Protein backbone atom coordinates (compact mmCIF):
# COMPACT_ATOMS: atom_id res chain seq x y z
CA UNK A 1 0.00 0.00 0.00
CA UNK A 2 1.38 3.43 -0.85
CA UNK A 3 1.80 6.10 1.82
CA UNK A 4 -1.06 8.09 0.24
CA UNK A 5 -3.41 5.09 0.43
CA UNK A 6 -2.36 4.36 4.01
CA UNK A 7 -3.00 7.90 5.20
CA UNK A 8 -6.46 7.84 3.60
CA UNK A 9 -7.55 5.02 5.92
CA UNK A 10 -9.29 6.50 8.93
CA UNK A 11 -10.24 3.36 10.87
CA UNK A 12 -8.09 0.33 11.51
CA UNK A 13 -8.79 -2.91 13.28
CA UNK A 14 -6.36 -5.10 15.16
CA UNK A 15 -6.09 -8.65 13.88
CA UNK A 16 -4.57 -11.73 15.48
CA UNK A 17 -3.65 -15.08 13.95
CA UNK A 18 -3.45 -18.60 15.36
CA UNK A 19 0.17 -18.00 16.41
CA UNK A 20 -1.01 -14.99 18.48
CA UNK A 21 0.79 -12.54 16.23
CA UNK A 22 -0.88 -9.16 15.77
CA UNK A 23 -1.39 -6.91 12.79
CA UNK A 24 -3.37 -3.86 11.68
CA UNK A 25 -5.84 -3.96 8.81
CA UNK A 26 -8.32 -1.47 7.35
CA UNK A 27 -11.52 -1.73 9.41
CA UNK A 28 -13.79 -1.60 6.37
CA UNK A 29 -12.38 -4.83 4.92
CA UNK A 30 -12.90 -8.42 6.02
CA UNK A 31 -9.96 -10.05 7.76
CA UNK A 32 -7.78 -12.06 5.39
CA UNK A 33 -7.53 -15.82 5.70
CA UNK A 34 -5.77 -17.00 8.82
CA UNK A 35 -6.56 -13.81 10.74
CA UNK A 36 -9.44 -12.79 13.02
CA UNK A 37 -10.41 -9.56 14.72
CA UNK A 38 -8.85 -9.05 18.15
CA UNK A 39 -11.69 -6.82 19.32
CA UNK A 40 -10.16 -3.38 18.92
CA UNK A 41 -10.76 -0.75 16.23
CA UNK A 42 -9.46 2.82 16.14
CA UNK A 43 -6.94 5.10 14.51
CA UNK A 44 -3.63 3.67 13.40
CA UNK A 45 -1.98 5.16 16.48
CA UNK A 46 -4.62 3.75 18.84
CA UNK A 47 -4.35 0.32 17.27
CA UNK A 48 -0.57 0.41 17.46
CA UNK A 49 -0.79 1.30 21.15
CA UNK A 50 -3.21 -1.62 21.69
CA UNK A 51 -0.81 -4.01 19.99
CA UNK A 52 2.14 -2.67 22.01
CA UNK A 53 0.18 -3.27 25.21
CA UNK A 54 -1.11 -6.76 24.37
CA UNK A 55 1.63 -8.35 22.24
CA UNK A 56 4.27 -8.64 24.93
CA UNK A 57 5.91 -11.88 23.76
CA UNK A 58 6.94 -11.82 20.10
CA UNK A 59 7.56 -15.56 19.95
CA UNK A 60 4.92 -17.49 18.00
CA UNK A 61 2.49 -19.49 20.16
CA UNK A 62 3.77 -22.82 18.81
CA UNK A 63 7.33 -21.97 19.89
CA UNK A 64 6.21 -20.91 23.38
CA UNK A 65 4.24 -24.15 23.75
CA UNK A 66 7.18 -26.26 22.55
CA UNK A 67 9.54 -24.58 25.00
CA UNK A 68 7.05 -25.00 27.85
CA UNK A 69 6.68 -28.70 27.02
CA UNK A 70 10.46 -29.14 26.87
CA UNK A 71 10.85 -27.42 30.24
CA UNK A 72 8.13 -29.61 31.75
CA UNK A 73 9.98 -32.76 30.69
CA UNK A 74 13.39 -31.43 31.71
CA UNK A 75 14.71 -31.18 28.16
CA UNK A 76 15.62 -27.50 28.53
Q: pLDDT tens digits, residue range 21-57?
A: 999 999 999 999 999 999 999 999 999 999 999 999 9
The predicted pLDDT at position 66 comes to 92
DSSP string, 1-18: --HHHHHH---EEEEEET
Identify the pLDDT of residue 75.
84
pLDDT at 7: 63
State which CATH number among 3.90.820.10, 3.40.50.720, 1.10.760.10, 3.30.750.24 fits the domain covering 3-72.
3.90.820.10
Q: For the chain, which residues make up each domain, given as ranges? A: 3-72
Query: How far is 71 from 53, CA to CA, in rounded Å?
Result: 27
- Per-residue pLDDT, 28: 97
Amino acid sequence: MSDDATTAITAWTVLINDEEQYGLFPADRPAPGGWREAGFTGTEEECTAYVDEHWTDMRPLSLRQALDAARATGQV
